Structure formats: C-alpha cells, structure tokens
Amino acid sequence: MKQIIRITVGLVISCLVAGAVMGGVFTVTDKAKKRNEHLAVQETMLGLLGYKDAKQVPADLKLYSIYRYIITDGSGSQYLGYLVPVAEGNETGYMLLKLDLQGKFISKKNIDISPEKAREAPERESALKAVLKPPISFRYADEAIVATLGKKRLAYLLPGEFLGFKTTIKAMLALDPSFGIVGLDILEHEEDPGLGGEIEQEYFKNQFKDKSYDRITKLKVIKEPLPDEYKKYLEKSKWQKGAFSKEQIATIRKKYQDKDIYAITGATISSKAVTDGVKGMVRKFAYRMGKLEAVIVNEKIPAVFL
Amino acid sequence: MAVTKKTNKQLVLDGLLSENPIFRLALSMCPAVGISSSVMNGILLGIAVLFVQVFSSCTISLLKDYIHPRIRIPTYTLVIATWVTVIDLVLAAYVPVAYKAMGIFVKLIVAFAIITMRLEVFACKNPVVPSFWDGVGMGTGFMFGMVTLGTVREFLGTGGLLGHDLIGTRPLLFFILPLAGFFCVGFIMAIFNYVEIVYKRMKRKRSIAQ
C-alpha cells in the first residue's frame, strides 16, 4: 500500500513538474512564435503572388480579409455570416452579411472594427457579440483574402487545412479571379520527412500551378515517375540563369498543364490527401464566392474589392 | 549500480563506432529505415536527436536519486517529451529559420528507442559528466549512422548528394523507397560485424605473438 502511494505521488509530481516546465516555456515563447507565424504567412502570401521580397511589392497592392462565420439563432437554424471589408468614406470598415445556407441575402449590419483589429480573433468576436446578442451564437469558419492591385482584382489567397497521412496539413492556396490555381504552399505539416514530407518540395507543390478551375474539379493522382524535364521545370528556385528559354518554358507549361498530379514516390497517400484537399478548397471557395459576389452586387454593398 | 570506468573520449568513440546506436545496438530502426532517404534528412534528424539525448541524459542523471524505480520508464518519457516540447517551442519562437527545416524532425523524437534506452542503461546509473559525454557519443553516433545511410541511399537512388545532381541519371530508384532502408541497414551492419571479427582476430594474433 505504501508503495502504491509513493508511486502515485511520484508520478503526479513528475507530471506536474513537466507540465509546469512546458507551460512556462509556452507562455514565454508564445508571443514570439505567433509573430513568426504571422510573418511566415505574410511572406508566403506575397511569395505566392510572385513577389520574392518586400521591396518588389507595389504600393497599391492591398490584401483584404473576408471572414466567414456560422451563425446559429435561438431556434437552432443556421446561417452564414460574412465579415466583408467595405469602404466607409476613405476608411475601411467591416460589414456583416447574413446569408441563409442557400446563399440568399437576409440582412446586413455594420460592425465597429478596424481592419488591423479584425486580424485578431478575440477582437472580432467581441465586435460581433455586440451585434449578435444571445440566444444567437456564432463560430468562426474560415478566412479568405482578396488581393487587389489598384482597381484590379489580382488573386484570392486561401489559408486552409485538410487531413494528411498523419495529422492535418496547413496550406495556402492562391487562385486567380477565375479560380484557377496560381500557386500552392504548405505552411505546416507533420508528415514523415523523406516520404510524405516531400509535399513541401517544389517538384510536388508546383505541379498544381496553372491548373484551370475545370481541370481542378477532375484532378487525380497518377502513379507514374515524374519526367525529368518537368521536374527541372518545377524546381524553380534551382534554376540557373538561362536554363530555360522562354519558348521552352511555354512548351513545357503547355505540355503538362492538363496533366494529373504525379504522386510522390513512397507517399501516395500524402499526395492524394493534398490533391483532394486542394480540390475541396477550390470547389468550396468558388461556390461560396459566387454566392457572396451575387449578394454584394444585388444589395449594392460598397465592398472594397469590387 | 555500475558506475562506468570509461574516459569521456572513450564514451564518445563507443557511441560512434563500437556501440553505434543503429548498426551495433540496432535501436531506433524506424527513423533509420524511414527517414534516411537523403543526407540532409540524416543531418537534421541527427542534430535533433543529439540535443534531446544530451539534455535528457543530463536531466535524468541529475534526478536519478529521486526517481522511484517502479516508475522510471514513464519518467524518462516525460523528461524526453518535455525537452522535445521545449526545443520545439524555443526554435519556433527565436530561430524560425532553423524551425522551418527542423520542426518536423524534433516532433518525431518523443518515441525514439535510443534515447529511452540510454537513459535506462547509462544515465540513471552514472554522474552527470559521463552521462553528458555518453549523450554526445550516442547522438553523434546516430547522426553518423543516418548520414551514412543517407549517403548510400541518396546517391544510389537519385544520383546526387545533398540535392545536387552528380551523375545526371537516377541509377536505382528503389533505394529511395523505405524498403531499401532495411537492405542498407543490413549491409552496413554486416560490414560493421565483419570489421569487428577481423579486428578481434588481429588482436588475438598480436597477444599470441607477444
């Protein structure tokens, strides 16, 4: 009996100490970690739009976030709530558009929050709580970013996550205004290094580039060896000067544009997971954006990205 | 309680060669087979293991008198998990560049047999300084093993090293697959054993001659 008590107490104490150490380190590092993650996401977004460093970014490139919430009212029926950035004079404000699940417009409300504050989830929540009073409840669903260059809509940036082989994979997709893929980047994953971990390599993720919306909806994974010229073409950061002439790039691009995704050797499941994940993200986003766009036009919402 | 009589240098060398974790002790075979498909993977995982091994060895060797023998294994796991989490968080917060490359490797380590085994066999019976050197030896030994495997597999599988193409063709794609890891480990293990036999034979001859 004495033994049992000593063992129990010993284990409890070791767990508590370990927990305290981990918790302590977490509180100390959390802020810096979050900042790094934010910077990494920013860098990824600009990279996907084709700007390799901050100097190249033109001054009139603007990134506007649209946040999607699921709203449940007192009777239990669900609605979609889009937080859309709108022009308020010279400032940018936010408006909450309430849509039913079929995408029909229900109501609109101004939300008192600045774009800088809207980036923080707790700030958004408290601003929304001022408008959506109980028994109405809401929860965050996802974010989409609209990139505009001057008056022109440049691209959509979609952060998203889907299930990989081991845990969830966090990725960032860049789509052109007609929902074709401009680029894909893997932000975070825990696939096995050397196998599924290869999804973050250029020769895999760049295969998604230049696929049109129609092609993406039918995208498959094929178990064929990646052709050498295509691999060289995909590994853009390894290009030496003059490795490809403009004509060569155009022909290779055209040749492989409509191909399916070549699976990674030894990691078919991860390849499939990413392909299906991307497919799902693009399809859902195209559908939702279509509905939202229609509402914005019909209701004459002064959205900043129009 | 058998306190080691080996010198620090001997401890490190033992970890590298005669007690090499992969080829002699046959521990942590999962990463050895799964992840050693390129030299870079080997180096990164090796560094991650080296740090976790050294830190955990020192911690256990400091705490060895307070750990109840019945719960030593859970305690080891806790210590390893704590160090893995701490290293992961610190890298993510202060060295984002390193985290980008090493993050996935660090997270893998918690369940590595080699670390638990060294804590059980060595650190819980020895003072801090030898434990530190044992950790260093085992860590570098593991890295050495991973790099050796990575070199063989990457060269034969992709025809290059460290991502640079050397011979222009891909001779045997088979070597990149996890399955080939078994063959490589087996062959290198055989070489190690053969060297040991030859070495012992020479030693015996010399002692007879004397």
**Which SS3 state, helix, strand or coil, does residue A229 take?**
helix
Asked if residues A277 and A163 have their Cβ atoms less than 8 Å apart, the reply is yes
In the predicted structure, residue A176 carries a pLDDT above the cut 60: yes
Q: Which residues of A touch B70 (CB under 8 A)?
A: 3, 7
Residues B10-66: tens digit of each pLDDT: 878 777 777 888 888 878 777 778 777 778 888 888 888 888 889 998 988 888 888
Is the bond into A177 cis (omega within 30 degrees of 0)?
Answer: no
Segment A70-83 shows an average pLDDT of 85
Residue A268's closest chain B neighbor by CA?
B177
Q: What is the pLDDT of residue A26?
A: 92
In the predicted structure, residue B120 carries a pLDDT above the cut 60: yes
Residue A228's closest chain B neighbor by CA?
B169
Suggest the residue from A166, A265, A268 to mutate for an interface test with chain B (most B CBs closer than 10 A): A265
Asked if residues A73 and A133 have their Cβ atoms less than 8 Å apart, the reply is no
Asked if residues B163 and A194 have their Cβ atoms less than 8 Å apart, the reply is no
Residues 6+ apart with CB under 8 A from B34: A192, A194, A195, B178, B181
Poorest-pLDDT segment among B126-130, B157-161, B194-198: B157-161
Residues B51-107: tens digit of each pLDDT: 888 999 898 888 888 887 888 888 888 888 999 989 888 888 888 888 877 777 887
Segment B124-142 shows an average pLDDT of 87
**Which SS3 state, helix, strand or coil, does residue A227 take?**
coil
Asked if B37 and A225 come within 8 Å (Cβ–Cβ), the reply is no
Segment A216-234 shows an average pLDDT of 83
Asked if residues A207 and A181 have their Cβ atoms less than 8 Å apart, the reply is no
Among positive and negative, which fits the CA dihedral B135, B137, B142, B147?
A: positive
Mean of pLDDT over chain B: 82
Q: Which of A261, A127, A120 has the alpha carbon at shortest distance from A204?
A: A261
Residues A115-128: tens digit of each pLDDT: 777 778 888 888 88
Asked if A266 and B178 come within 8 Å (Cβ–Cβ), the reply is yes
Say how far apart CA B139 and CA A264 lie, in whole Å. Answer: 30
Asked if A193 and B41 come within 8 Å (Cβ–Cβ), the reply is yes
Q: What are the CA-CA distances from residue A263 to residues A188, A191, A232, A272, A275 (Å)? A: 20, 15, 16, 7, 10
Asked if A195 and B34 come within 8 Å (Cβ–Cβ), the reply is yes
Q: Which residues of A touch B35 (CB under 8 A)?
A: 192-195
Return the axis-axis angle of helices B96-108 and A2-48, rounded to nearest 10°: 140
Asked if B81 and A18 come within 8 Å (Cβ–Cβ), the reply is yes
Poorest-pLDDT segment among A16-20, A118-122, B188-192: A118-122
Residues 6+ apart with CB under 8 A from A233: A244, A249, A252, A253, A256
Which among B92, B107, B173 is the nearest to A265, CB-wise?
B173
Segment B176-182 shows an average pLDDT of 77
Asked if A190 and B177 come within 8 Å (Cβ–Cβ), the reply is no
In the predicted structure, residue B170 carries a pLDDT above the cut 70: no
Q: State the amino acid at position B168 in one-letter form.
A: G
Residues 6+ apart with CB under 8 A from B46: B139, B140, B142, B143, B144, B146, B147
Q: Which residues of A touch B69 (CB under 8 A)?
A: none
Which among A14, A21, A265 is the nearest to B177, CB-wise?
A265
Q: What are the CA-CA distances from residue B68 to residues A14, A103, B63, B122 (Å)? A: 11, 63, 10, 16
Which among B90, B173, B178 is the nearest to A195, CB-wise?
B178
Specify the residue for token string 């790094």: A36
Q: Which residues of B touch A266 (CB under 8 A)?
A: 37, 176-178
Residues A273-294: tens digit of each pLDDT: 999 999 999 998 888 888 888 8
Shortest Cα–Cα distance, B69 to chain A (Å): 9
Q: What is the pLDDT of residue B1?
A: 44
Q: What is the pLDDT of residue B163?
A: 67
Q: Which of B42, B31, B79 has the alpha carbon at shortest distance from A21?
A: B79
Q: Classify residue A99 by its DSSP letter.
A: E
| Residue A179 φ/ψ, nearest 5 degrees | 70, 20
3-state SS record for B62-94? HHHHHCCHHHHHHHHHHHHHHHHHHHHHHHHHH
Which among B35, B90, B176 is the nearest to A29, CB-wise?
B90
- Chain A residues within 8 angstroms (CB to CB) of chain B: 3, 6-7, 10-11, 14-15, 18, 21-22, 25-26, 28-33, 36-37, 39-40, 189-195, 197, 225, 265-266
Say how far apart CA B85 and CA B92 lie, in whole Å. Answer: 10
Say how far apart CA B52 and CA B71 lie, in whole Å. Answer: 21
Mean of pLDDT over chain A: 84
C-alpha angle with apex A95: A93 to A96, nearest 5 degrees?
Answer: 150
Cβ neighbour number for residue B209 with a 10 Å cutoff: 6
CA A244 to chain centre: 31
C-alpha angle with apex A153: A149 to A159, nearest 5 degrees?
Answer: 100
Asked if A32 and B94 come within 8 Å (Cβ–Cβ), the reply is yes
Shortest Cα–Cα distance, A196 to chain B (Å): 10
Q: What is the pLDDT of residue A22?
A: 92
Asked if residues A162 and A280 have their Cβ atoms less than 8 Å apart, the reply is yes
